Amino acid sequence: MLRLIFAFRAFWKALWNPDKARLFLEEPKVERKSAEPVDQSHLRLLMLLQQSSRLIDFLKEDLSGFDDAQVGAAVRKIHEDSNKCLEELVTIRPVMEESEGVKITVPQGYDPLKIKVIGKVKGEPPYTGFLVHKGWKAHKRSLPKKVGENVTDVICPAEVEIR
């Protein structure tokens, strides 16, 4: 019943104001924003880690069929190559220089993006606790940009050897 009343009201308004009726019946013009480029830096970093150390191959491998010595031997090379690649591209350093396990004080006004306070947190800072993890921050960011190429989600192409 309410829809019928609404329809009659719309009809009478349209009858007395045809310009508004035309505007109502026209399809709205949607302004399309130009597609902003998608930041693919995370995929470029994965691509470079894959190229330098085959990190993704290792992480996606089922290790249940290998013994610890085999895994350990593979990890040494992957660790060395991945660390070298990261150091060249990002240069990661600890957020806190203190050794893990030592007692520290978190000051009032600390940056929650740099320090995550966990455990039985009560009241306001300063807090005293034990450093569980140093945290990591990027000092240098020199990830190469892909210029002039289409955005792709392919991190590493499949390789086919022709014999």
Contact at 8 Å (CB) between 130 and 104?
yes
pLDDT given at position 155? 76
Domain residue spans in the chain?
A: 39-89, 95-136
| pTM over the 0.85 mark | no
Residues in a beta bridge with 80: none
pLDDT given at position 2? 67
pLDDT given at position 146? 64
pLDDT given at position 135? 94
Helix, strand, coil abundance in the chain, percent, nearest 5: 40, 10, 50
Q: What is the C-alpha separation between 7 and 10, in angstroms, rounded?
A: 5
Three-state secondary-structure class, residue 161: coil
- Which burial class, exposed, middle or buried, applies to 49 when counting CB atoms under 10 A from its CB (0-12, 13-18, 19+)? buried
Split the chain (163 residues) into runs of 10 and give each run's mean pLDDT: 67 71 66 68 87 92 92 92 90 92 94 93 93 90 66 74 73
